[in-house]
Structure 1
Amino acid sequence: MHMLEAGEYKLRQGVLELIAGIALNSVEGASGVALRGEPGEEGRKKKNLTKGIKASHSEGKVTLDLEVHMDYGLDFHAVGAEVQRRVKEAVESMTGWPVEAVNVDVVGVNAV
């Protein structure tokens, strides 16, 4: 929780997870576990973007753990680094809280 001159604002864990999920799924070649499957499937709803994402906020810092699927044939290290960069940038720019770590756990490979 952060104090403002005229009050305070709070961010729930789910908000941090949703920001991370949207940023993760913006990276070409990577997707969260909620977006497995064929494009256009009913499972691709905003409420599912947080599946496989865990956020914690302690002592003013955010840590994010992401379960990720990556497209077959890509450089997983490079894609993972881009996921980390985009998620960190999105969370920090929207919340003002520093991101201590973005941990990427590749749990599957998408056939393309």
Structure 2
Amino acid sequence: MTESSTTLSKNPPGSSSAVSSSSAGSAAPDRLATDEGKISVAQGVVQKIAGMACREISGVHSMGTSPNRAFGALRERIPGSSGPNVAQGVGVEVGETQAAIDLDIVVEYGVSIADLGRSIQRNVKQSVERMTGLEVVEVNINVDDVYLPSDDDQQQETPSRVS
């Protein structure tokens, strides 16, 4: 009897594939290898798809850790910038046939984090698998903050130093 094995390892950022798969005798056909050649999906592609799929879910206020969100807000204000970075708050490990995804999010106050997390996991997994053909082995969600509507009010009420 042949077995299928999957290995996930944490590699430093910018390193090559951390998700690998050997599927001797696997029942599932390899969707990324055809008679015409091999299809490979870049890490940035998976990051963008996962970021967009996460943001589609109601209750996600923003993505990324506090320093990354602050840097992203500054970058968006620079004339000629490309706008919001859809991959912000998304970490991925991509192998030949599998992907693992980590998401850093800020939730809106009052939303059930457990229900929101399951919805995000389901949507991200379906979107990435449908668009790339990769098997998503895990979607990990880190809730970094809770957005309170009063957060915006406090920022707007601070008096301007210039007139």
Q: Secondary structure at the match of 1:99?
A: strand
CA RMSD of aligned residues (A): 2.3
What are the within-5 Å matches in structure 2 for residues 59-70 of structure 1? 60-70=97-107
TM-score w.r.t. the length of structure 2 is 0.58
In structure 2, what is the Cα distance between the partners aligned to 1:53 and 1:106? 12
Deviation at 1:6, TM superposition (A): 2.3
Task: Establish whether residue 28 from structure 1 lines up as the match of residue 58 from structure 2.
Answer: yes
Question: Which structure's CA Rg is the greater one?
Answer: 2
In structure 1, what is the Cα distance between the partners aligned to 2:100 and 2:142? 14
Deviation at 1:27, TM superposition (A): 0.2
Which structure is higher in strand share?
A: 1
In structure 2, what is the Cα distance between the partners aligned to 1:88 and 1:27? 13
Give the fraction of aligned pairs with identical amino acids, expressed as a percent.
Answer: 31
Q: Secondary structure at the match of 2:111?
A: coil
In structure 2, what is the Cα distance between the partners aligned to 1:111 and 1:76? 14
Name the residue aligned to 1:45.
Answer: 83
Task: Establish whether residue 84 from structure 1 lines up as the match of residue 115 from structure 2.
Answer: no
Deviation at 1:23, TM superposition (A): 0.1
Deviation at 1:109, TM superposition (A): 1.2
Q: Whose RCO is larger (CA < 8 A, sep 6+)?
A: 1
TM-score w.r.t. the length of structure 1 is 0.82
Name the residue aligned to 1:14.
Answer: 44
Q: What CA deviation, in whole Å up to 9, does each residue of 1:23-75 have, x standing for no partner?
A: 000000013239x69xxxx84935x1111211112362210000011001111
Q: Secondary structure at the match of 1:81?
A: helix
Amino acid at match of 1:28: S
